Amino acid sequence: MSNLVIIESPGKVKTIKSCLGKNYDVIASVGHVRDLPKSSLGIDVNKDFEPKYVVIQGKTKVINELKQKANEADRVFLATDPDREGEAISWHLSKVLELDEDKTDRVTFNEITKTAVQKGIESPRKIDMDLVNSQQARRVLDRLVGYKLSPFLWKTIKSGLSAGRVQSVAARIIVEREEEIQAFKPEEYWTIDAVLSTSKRAIVNAKYYGNSVDKKTEIKSKEEAQAILDAIEGGQFVVVGSTKEKKQKAPQPPFTTSTMQQEASRRYGFQTTRTMKIAQQLYEGVGLGKEFGGDHGIITYMRTDSLRIADEAAYAAKEYIENTFGKEYYPSKRRVYKTKNSAQDAHEAIRPSDMNLNPEKLKGVLTSEQYKLYKLIWNRFIASQMKNAELEVLSLDIECNGKFFKASTYDVAFKGFTAVSGIEEEEDEEKREKIPNIDKDEILKLESIAPKQNFTEPPPHFNEGSLVKFLEEKGIGRPSTYATIISTIIERGYVERDKKNLTSTPLGKTVVEVMKENFPEYVDYKFTADAETKLDSIAQGEHTYNEVISKFYDDFNKCLDKANKNAPSKRIKIPVEETDYVCDNCGRKMVIKHGPYGKFLACSGYPECKNTMQLDKNGNIIQKVEKAEPVPTDMICDKCGKPMVLRTGKYGSFYACTDYPKCKTTKPVPDPIGVPCPKCGRDILKVKSKSGRIFFRCEGYPKCDFASWNKPVDEKCPKCGSILVESKKGDSLYCSNPDCDYKKK
């Protein structure tokens, strides 16, 4: 019996195939195969908002291959990703491939391991149309808003702009934070820190609190601070209150998509799209070698807002904790974290798929970024299942001439979950002073006292991590959409990255202002969150697709008609950012403009003066380099027999025919690496591709087609005889034959 398994990503084919065996053929659809057309609305608003799907350009070949294999198979398993988007892709595949319902099943894998994949195949079901309709409703709503709103922006601001249902709200969040920062007025305040010591020379760091132990007093000026210093001069610092208590510190729950993105941003500065790409690799399958069971996924599905943990995973974590740290580190009762009411509980939280694969074991197998993210996920999961940390906290109230100071310090009585390396950035216990025994009425000696001027600070700029947190708190978007939301508002030029911060552009401010004025409801946080809840309700079978879409569209259309009637007759001018740079053509000031490739400087005298200057990612001018003259050589063109010259271009030096543009023959400048080609014996050259990436190919190209992204070495594989190549890190060698798993440290 032949079985066909259709998945989304080609990256999972090899892994899933190895889990299922010979009777299963695995093939990838490479994402969606159908979508709404790009050139028209693609929705029949007069026929229950029926979507008009078309085959995505370039997918015909894939579809034909899928059709042929599906017709030949006895059974077809649609194994796209286990979420709404994946459910919709399975439905689209069933339609476009005209699959027979009686021989077609839907299966899902929460993790790509042999056990999980086989279990998924053994638990088939039919396509969940509630999930499909929820995804369709989201896609249709986004199309209606974007397709109807964008022309309004073209008319009022400039052509080429686009608006999105969620992206417009995200841009508003960034803009309003910028406005808060700009409007912020710092206020002065003072603090007084005293360094005290006990009779046993233990040091106590105390802070001024106020005129009583019950009410804090703010110090607003230097004069007030000096008055306090004058009042306590020569007085005794007496402990009037001393309490010691034990406090529990609980671990954080395992990661959801949102919290994983936030933590990866905070710790490593990963952008959300980068985090999701790495997580996708860890989920789909990593080449671990025979030592660790070959290719398989090492984390569970990475798009989730659930905190649920499978029983077998919790039990495996218990065994690991008790064997590694001791039985006293596991709580008396298993930890169960409550998932938010708005969360979709179809998946587990993000966790390792195999507790035997400690990050340190895989350090030499994973890339640097894969290792960092995997270790983050591993540590968070293990810590989430452990016992609380116990802290012994000492709190002191100290009085001097009617003025009160407070001090506190702590010892770790029991490490609990903080025993997991890297989970907590605790200060070094050896360096921190241990809690001294300080009793009430003890007199402390003043070692030093210092007033300090401070100023209140504005709210911080959003970075990707803090924006994801804000979106989640407000219920805007869903785990699978956060990365796309951020990348979209940056690509549209509404927001830009300033190092790690996200800042609004003049264009973004203008678009948000127009949206707030004309479509206030549709860029409102609560309205957008309520729309997300209604879309979720379709997946849960509480509302229908048509109910949600028709209600939204009726209200939206009225708002759009009103906005079009009140639209200004002239376009709104986008403010320009003037700089101190002077145009070297006409002497006028240069202004910052935003193009498809980022920022650049343009003369403020445009269109009379069209001078521009390129900027690098740090905002510095890239100096223009004079074009180098071609250098004559003794080489002759193979095609036309004319002499060749040495030229210097964007990606380095190369040989070119002098009869250009009639003859466009070029040759790379030989840069041999001292290794003979395994196919023909000629030199292997180091070459730069058109994208600027280095690769290695035979000097005899194109007659000899040997090429490799990794640097070959003059050593052959002992297993199959193919040439060995260096790993990306350069710390190991592996066989260039993709079917051979030989690796050498």
Catalytic annotation, pick one of 53, 209, 301, 320: 301
- Specify the residue for token string 């380095």: 652
Rounded to whole angstroms, the Cα distance separating 101 from 105 reads 8
Between strands 3-7 and 75-78, the pairing is parallel
Which of 458, 470, 465 lies closest to 500, judged by CA?
465
Ranges of beta strands (E only) in 464-500 are 495-498
Contacts of 576 (CB under 8 A, 6+ apart): 506, 591, 592, 593, 604
What backbone phi and psi angles, to 5 degrees, belong to 688? -105, 130
The DSSP code sequence of 289-351 is: -GGGTSEE--BB-S--------HHHHHHHHHHHHHHT-GGGS-SS---PPPPTTS-TTS--B-
Return phi, psi of residue 296, to 5°: -165, 160
d(CA 36, CA 9): 21
Helix/strand/coil (H, E, C) string of 141-210?
A: HHHHHHHHHHHHHHHHCCCCCCCCCCHHHHHHHHHHHHHHHHHCCCCEEEEEEEEEECCCCCEEEEEEEE
Q: Determine the Cα–Cα distance for residues 275 and 671; give it in Å rounded to an integer.
A: 36
Between the two ends of the chain, the Cα-to-Cα distance in Å is 42
Residues 6+ apart with CB under 8 A from 696: 673, 684, 685, 686, 687, 707, 708, 709, 710, 711, 712
Report d(CA 594, CA 18) in Å as an integer: 49
Whether the Cβ atoms of residue 135 and residue 88 lie closer than 8 Å to each other: yes
User: Cα–Cα distances in Å, from 725 out to 436, 529, 582?
Assistant: 60, 51, 51
Give which of 476, 531, 546, 536 is closest to 346, Cα–Cα: 536
Comparing CA positions, the residue from 404, 400, 415, 408 lying closest to residue 436 is 408
Q: Which of 451, 459, 402 has its CA nearest to residue 219?
A: 451
**Alpha-carbon distances of 107 from 77, 78, 123, rounded to whole Å:** 6, 6, 7
> CB of 331 within 8 A of CB of 387?
yes
Number of Cβ within a 10 Å radius of residue 308: 18
3-class DSSP assignment, residue 585: coil
Tokens of 667: 């040759």
Cα 409 from Cα 423, distance rounded (Å)? 21
Do residues 449 and 194 lie in contact, with contact meaning Cβ atoms separated by under 8 Å?
yes
Q: Which residues of 682-709 are buried (b: 16+ CB within 10 A; e: fewer)?
A: bebbebbeeeeeeebbbbbbeebebebe
H helices, E strands: number in the chain: 16, 35
Q: Is 734 a catalytic residue?
A: no
Taking CA atoms, 317 is separated from 335, 385, 414, 589, in Å, by: 11, 7, 20, 63
Any idea which residues carry the catalytic annotation? 301
